[in-house]
Amino acid sequence: MDSVYYVGLDVHKKSISFCVKQADGTVVSEGQVAARRVELTAWVRQLPGAWVGALEATLFSGWIYDFLRPFALSLEVAHPAMLKAIAASKKKNDRVDARKITDLLRCNLLPRCYMAPSDLRELRRVLRYRNLMVAEAVRMKNKTAGLLMEVGAEYNKEKLHHKGYFRELLDSVTNVPGSVLDLLKLTRGATEMFETAQQRLVAGLCRHPQLRERVERLQSISGVGEILSLTWALEIGEPERFHSVKDAVSYCGLTSAQNSSAGKEHRGPISKQRNKYIQTILIEAAKVAPRWNPTLAAVHARERERGNANRATLSVARKLVAYLLAVDRSGQPFIAESPATEPRQAAESAQTVAAA
């Protein structure tokens, strides 16, 4: 391994600072290269020999990782939060950061993070764009109600976003400025556009050959719909990377931060270190899943009796994670024989995943 060179990359939008070292820590070269494919190709060709590299996970790391990976013996992506804790110092600049990443890689101390395959990341980008469409549609709906309230127009909020009722409302309202009517029509048009776009994106993902069978298996769990199934499949990626249900629950942001000192332990709110996309969908699904799943209803009722509705929702979300991980890793549909046997089956599935 003495002939292998270690390369640390400090990635930015327009430039990449690099440091190349030998195994003994001798600096071979360092500097900056433009974050463009042509310049990166020329830079890779002038490296002195076989190399392994590391870069910090940023918004720009994905395409750089995909481009450089074929040229390297191995290329790792560092966890940004853990990297700051390890490499903290008074002096910080791009050259120093590149050196520290190289040293952490050379000493096998680099806090690695999971990098999903490129085809999975492409599909994940589509799903996250769908989330943006949903958020914008909600904003437009709220703006519609806000415009009506500003001018004192009466309306039925339960029917406001139905096409027929909205059309009748525009024809029947009085004492409303013409500009408001024009804005209402524009807002309604934007709402329909965003809703249509997100429906097309979801339909395309559900039909994708890489996801279709997996999503159908996940939906075999009562209370799990296509949005939760798609989000789980694309945000989790490869379920084998989780050694236990606890690891998956922690990744989904359903555990609280721990602060223990001198024999005293304090539990805070759920951790901010999580995948926010899967966390949001799981919590929303946990609020309605007990309506269709007797086991989840029992979990919710048991926790609700203790007087905290939020904890009951989190308990249901954690149970959903156990179900989803068990089905995803086994490759078999979830079969609930009866409400009496379903809790036992779910417990056995969770134990199987934990033991794997």
pLDDT per residue as tens digits for the range 204-258: 999 999 999 999 999 999 999 999 999 999 999 999 999 999 999 999 999 887 7
pLDDT at 90 over 90: no
- The phi and psi torsions of 42 (rounded to 5 degrees) equal -65, -35
Q: What is the pLDDT of residue 176?
A: 86
Q: How far apart are the first and last CA of the chain?
A: 33
What is the rounded CA–CA span in Å between residue 103 and residue 99?
6
Bridge-based pairing state of the strands 74-78 and 256-261: unpaired
Q: Taking the domains of the chain in order of start, what are their residue ranges?
A: 5-106, 118-207, 242-355
What lies within 8 Å, CB to CB, of 8 at 6+ separation is 18, 19, 21, 53, 54, 55, 97, 98, 99, 100, 101, 102, 103, 104, 105
Alpha carbon separation from 126 to 73, 205, 206 (Å, rounded): 30, 8, 12
pTM assigned to the model: 0.85
Q: How confident is the model at residue 87 (pLDDT cuts 50, 70, 90)?
A: low
Nearest to 314 by CA among 342, 284, 338, 353: 284
pLDDT at 153 over 50: yes
Q: How confident is the model at residue 350 (pLDDT cuts 50, 70, 90)?
A: very low
Put the strands of the sheet holding 5-11 in their side by side order: 27-34, 15-21, 5-11, 51-56, 74-78
Percent of the chain topping pLDDT 70: 90
Residue-wise pLDDT for 287-346, tens only, equals 999 999 999 999 999 999 988 889 999 999 999 999 999 999 999 998 775 544 444 444
How many Å is the maximal CA-CA distance in the chain? 83
Contact (CB, 8 A) for 119 and 128: no
Q: Looking at 57-207, which runs of residues are DSSP E strands? A: 74-78
pLDDT at 45 over 50: yes
Q: What is the pLDDT of residue 102?
A: 93
CATH of region 5-106: 3.30.420.40
